[in-house]
Structure 1
């Protein structure tokens, strides 16, 4: 329905719910903002690929635009483009601007410095997320979103399948460059999460003697937990092409296999960012295998440890909710999974034969202890 407001000289056309010119302009701005939101992601990816955070970090002090352009070997004719890129990234809080005097004779110039967020993008830092950013904005993950509309009308399990004719795990099995990139991205997240877990959630691992990290990739999590708890023996279960060539140690072993068919016996089974990849029915199959694995242990306190998101949390900040919804859309586009609310988590736990669970909030994700 349209609403027409007549004036002596012209007629203004408004849609229902838009009662003024300002309403119309605000709605247009909102549409524009979301239409071009991908530019924030692409600008961030460009900054990582150019090595801007690394360059400023190595310099050890804020850098002017000319210093940054020289250090990056930017074409002089494109220095204004670098300024415009940095303007977006400053607005997005990835860099700050400060005043800098280069010499007594010169006036102050604006210079760029790192923020807390861009410090996570310095490649040499132990908790760097640089590889994660480049991977998640890679065309392999972005292209399926161009096929979501098509997917709603076909019989494929995911837009990724619609685009590629196979699921993401099959794709990783045949595309070695993507497999390596994906595993490195997961390893960067594992380093960060492990660092926090062994400091903030020690009680989750205390008393355990054996643990299986299902889908543990390169073993970053298992190594980190094993180092913090020397008496804990860890095994990493992942697909054969993932663990091929990886070497263990006295308290770490790698097992090639399929979690839908077999999980080695242990006091605890660890699942970080695994269950959100799969449908409820597939999660129940995985969790039943987890239960079989810990039922083979006589240890008191045996459990499954899940690290994943919980959506629908009350009094949550809008940005936190938005990030979780983005992850949920990613799971829909590239896999068969989803991000779940607490009721949905409880349903798959109980359906799988578990009796109780305990939630420990951890930023955007939570640690969920699930007990038989």
Structure 2
């Protein structure tokens, strides 16, 4: 057996790295706490930098907890959720950063519903069972922990179903704004589009607003469509099953859908979409908005790590996965498509165009 002789300095550095991994769960808890307290909203409503005591007062934090709250804010600043600056008198005050701007509830690009969804115990508790799940016959850690698949729980719990739909809608609102600013050419000139698994229709409405000449349809399961107060002046809602059939349109959109499913299921979905669109010569195509692991426009060094962690989330919740380009190519060709184009427009996610 080969000996491993690590030096004491190496082991101390390794210990620090292990500690960093060990305590990383507290980053999520800091994020959750900042949402519960409404720190970003308080700073936005104040309209200018705030001292710690003023911020604590605005959040109804009692004087006995201000010292602890200051330590908490120091951590949030280190995590870049907030920033601090000194005025001419040397007083430290807190301000928003681009990250915390995404936590302001009244802003269009507001991630709060999505964050609340992912941090809900139903979404994250099953991660505690990864170890025993690997040796179990259950398909997912979620099913191992809760005794039934995620989608079954969504159907059974109306409050969680609403939270799920609101979380997906908030992401669609953010992505819709960015897409319309950065990659309009993907949707330009389309006469019709069906948003497959489009939920409450946020993305479809954004496309309809940007391109009034495009007829937009939303396909989702009946229990999703039935909860909507429909506005058919912009989009049409159709209840159905994407594994069975997809309404005909010039293009089919799959935003953050295929990562929920395994390869065989993805191939079936893509085949149903292929049946619903015309030939390439007549402008038919499928537009996928999803991660391509290893491809990103995000400049942070942990971008690919985040993609890999998201893949573990998919493994924990459903039978899907985040795919690299070779894995995408495999299912694209298996579904009968001959050509595709990947454009990394959206930070950790890309736009993938498929042509029949």
TM-score (norm 2): 0.95
2:124 match: 142
1:328 match: 311
Q: Is the 8 A contact 2:141 2:316 kept in 1?
A: yes
1:213 match: 195
Matched, 1:51 2:38: yes
Kindly report the root-mean-square deviation, in angstroms, between the aligned alpha carbons of the 2 structures.
Answer: 1.8
Give, in angstroms, the shift of residue 318 of structure 1: 3.1
2:100 match: 118
Give, in angstroms, the shift of residue 17 of structure 1: 4.8
Q: Is the 8 A contact 1:144 1:163 kept in 2?
A: yes
1:173 match: 155
1:280 match: 263
1:104 match: none
Distance across 1 between alignment mates of 2:180 and 2:301? 29
Q: Is the 8 A contact 1:277 1:335 kept in 2?
A: yes
1:265 match: 248
User: What does 1:14-29 align with in structure 2 at a 5 Å threshold?
Assistant: 16-19=4-7, 21-29=8-16
Most deviating of 362-371 and 249-258: 249-258
User: What does 1:57-76 align with in structure 2 at a 5 Å threshold?
Assistant: 57-76=44-63
1:367 match: 351
User: What does 1:57-206 align with in structure 2 at a 5 Å threshold?
Assistant: 57-100=44-87, 108-206=90-188
Counterpart among 206, 224, 229 of residue 242 in structure 1: 224
Runs of 4+ in 1 over 4 A off after TM superposition: 314-317
Most deviating of 250-259 and 187-196: 250-259
Give, in angstroms, the shift of residue 227 of structure 1: 0.5
1:40 match: 27
SS in structure 2 at match of 1:318: coil
SS in structure 2 at match of 1:63: coil
Distance across 1 between alignment mates of 2:87 and 2:159? 42
Q: Is the 8 A contact 1:40 1:88 kept in 2?
A: no
Give, in angstroms, the shift of residue 314 of structure 1: 9.3
Q: Is the 8 A contact 1:120 1:128 kept in 2?
A: yes
Q: Is the 8 A contact 1:232 1:251 kept in 2?
A: no
Distance across 2 between alignment mates of 1:98 and 1:314? 31
Distance across 2 between alignment mates of 1:85 and 1:291? 51
Most deviating of 75-84 and 310-319: 310-319
Give, in angstroms, the shift of residue 317 of structure 1: 5.5
1:9 match: none
User: Residue deviations 1:49-78, cap 9 Å, x none?
Assistant: 110000011001111110011101112211
SS in structure 1 at match of 2:277: helix
Alignment CA distance shift 1:185-1:328 (3 Å): same
